[in-house]
A and B are shown apart, each in its own frame.
Chain A
Amino acid sequence: MNTTTRHEQQALTRAILEIDVHNHPGVMSHIVGLFARRAYNVEGILCLPVGDGSVSRIWLLVNEDRRLAQMIKQVDKLEDVTAIRRHEADHAVFQDLESFFRP
Chain B
Amino acid sequence: MTETLSGAQITIRLLERQGIRTVAGIPGGAILPIYDALGQSTVIHHVLARHEQGAGFMAQGMARTTGRPAVCLASSGPGATNLLTAIADARLDSIPLVAITGQVPQAMIGTDAFQEVDTYGLSIPITKHNFLVTSAEELLEVIPRAFRIAASGRPGPVLVDIPKDVQMQALEIADWPEPGIAETAPTADPALIAEAAALINAAQRPILYLGGGVVHSGASALAVELAEKAGLPTVMTLMALGAMPVNHPLSLGMLGMHGARYTNLALDECDLLIAVGARFDDRATGKVAAFCPQAKIIHIDIDPAELDKIKTAHVGIGADVGEALGQLLPAVFENSRKIWVDRNHALKAEFPLAMPDADNPRSHFGLIRTVAACLDDQATVTTDVGQHQMWVAQAYPLRRPRQWLTSGGLGTMGFGVPAAIGAALAEPQRTVVCFSGDGSILMNIQELVTAAEENANIKIILMNNATLGLVHQQQTLFYGERLFASQFKGMPDFVKVAEGFGIAALDLDRQADPAAALAEALARPGPCLIHAGIDAEQKVYPMVPPGAANRDMIGA
Contacts and interface: CB of A to CB of B under 8 A. Distances in A.
A102 interface: no
A29 B309 CA distance: 23
Nearest to B154: A77
B389 to A, nearest CB: 27
A51 interface: no
Contact of B305 (A26, A29, A73): A73
B303 interface: yes
Interface stretch (B12-20, B120-128, B170-178, B537-545): B120-128
B132 A25 contact: yes
Interface string B250-281: 00000000000000000000000000000000
Given A25-B132, A33-B125, A70 B120 contact: no
A26 B308 contact: no
A76 B153 CA distance: 14
A91 B149 CA distance: 35
A6 interface: no
B157 to A, nearest CB: 13
B521 to A, nearest CB: 46
Nearest to A79: B129
Nearest to A37: B125
A79 B149 contact: yes
A50 B425 CA distance: 49
B309 A26 contact: no
B352 interface: no
B356 interface: no
A102 to B, nearest CB: 34
A68 B469 CA distance: 39
B304 interface: yes
Nearest to B132: A26
Nearest to A36: B125
A76 B132 CA distance: 21
B309 A70 contact: yes
Nearest to B158: A79
A77 B318 CA distance: 13
Contacts of B149: 79
**Chain A at the B interface: SS class:** helix
Nearest to A25: B132
Interface in A39-74: 69-70, 73-74
B368 to A, nearest CB: 38
A26 B130 CA distance: 9
Nearest to B307: A73
B142 to A, nearest CB: 11
Interface in B159-216: none
Contact of B120 (A26, A73, A74, A79): A26
A77 B124 contact: no
A30 interface: yes
Nearest to A71: B305
A78 B124 CA distance: 11
A70 B305 contact: yes
Contact of A33 (B124, B303, B304): B124
Interface residues on A, range: 10 to 19
Interface string B295-330: 000000001110011000000000000000000000
Contacts of B305: 70, 73-74, 76-77
B304 A29 contact: no
A69 B308 contact: yes
Contacts of B130: 26
Contacts of A70: 305, 308-309
B226 to A, nearest CB: 27
B303 A29 contact: no
A79 B129 CA distance: 7
Given A29-B124, A33-B124, A37-B125, A73 B304 contact: yes
B129 A29 contact: no
Nearest to A80: B129
B281 to A, nearest CB: 15
Interface centre among B120, B121, B124, B303, by most A CB within 10 Å? B124
A42 B48 CA distance: 44
Interface string B92-136: 000000000000000000000000000011001100111010000
B107 to A, nearest CB: 16
Interface string A70-103: 1001101111000000000000000000000000
A2 to B, nearest CB: 38
Contacts of A74: 305
Contacts of B124: 26, 29-30, 33
A17 to B, nearest CB: 15
A91 B421 CA distance: 56
A37 B125 CA distance: 8
A70 B280 CA distance: 15
A38 B124 CA distance: 14
A76 B308 CA distance: 15
Contacts of A37: 125
A33 B149 CA distance: 20
B308 A29 contact: no
Contacts of B120: 26
Contacts of A76: 304-305
Contacts of A25: 132
A76 B124 CA distance: 15
A65 B101 CA distance: 38
Nearest to B121: A29
6 contacts: A26-B124, A29-B121, A29-B124, A30-B124, A37-B125, A79-B129
Interface of A: 25-26, 29-30, 33, 37, 69-70, 73-74, 76-79
Given A26-B124, A69-B308, 12 more contacts: A25-B132, A26-B120, A26-B130, A29-B124, A33-B125, A73-B304, A73-B305, A76-B304, A77-B303, A77-B304, A79-B129, A79-B149
